[in-house]
Amino acid sequence: GAVVSQHPSRVICKSGTSVKIECRSLDFQATTMFWYRQFPKKSLMLMATSNEGSKATYEQGVEKDKFLINHASLTLSTLTVTSAHPEDSSFYICSARDLRGLANPNEQFFGPGTRLTVL
């Protein structure tokens, strides 16, 4: 089955630093990747939609200059949290859509998530 990986799985950083999270589709090509954030005991909140080779589309209320998304290839999207602060501490999850989407019922595959802690 289709696999999405994220790296790192956990990261602790100091306030003011930037953190990059990678999302890779391992055995399929993903035209579109999505980034979610999840706070404890809350549901996943969509942050942005990332299309390969074009600028990401951010959801309302998500700062595009703080959460930089790059989707340079069909298998890799990165989320960079710039000048991280403690309130950015969260569980970040990516997902990817298979290019074959219409024929594949399991159309959205989720990564295992990255736990970010900002001190």
Partner 1 sequence: DAKTTQPPSMDCAEGRAANLPCNHSTISGNEYVYWYRQIHSQGPQYIIHGLKNNETNEMASLIITEDRKSSTLILPHATLRDTAVYYCIVSWRTSYDKVIFGPGTSLSVIP
35: contact with partner 1 by CB under 8 A: no
Q: Which helix (H) or strand (E) holds 12?
A: strand 10-13
Q: Does 45 bind partner 1 (CB under 8 A)?
A: yes
Please choose, from the candidates 69, 47, 74, the residue with its C-alpha nearest in 3D space to the C-alpha of residue 58: 47
Among 7, 20, 66, 115, binds partner 1 (CB under 8 A): 115
Whole-Å CA distances, 112 to 8, 40, 62, 65, 109: 10, 16, 22, 25, 10
The piece of 11-19, 67-75, 79-87, 88-96 that touches partner 1 (CB under 8 A) is: 88-96
Binding residues (CB under 8 A) for partner 1: these are 4, 6, 31-32, 34, 36, 42-46, 49, 51, 91, 93, 95, 97-99, 101-102, 105-113, 115
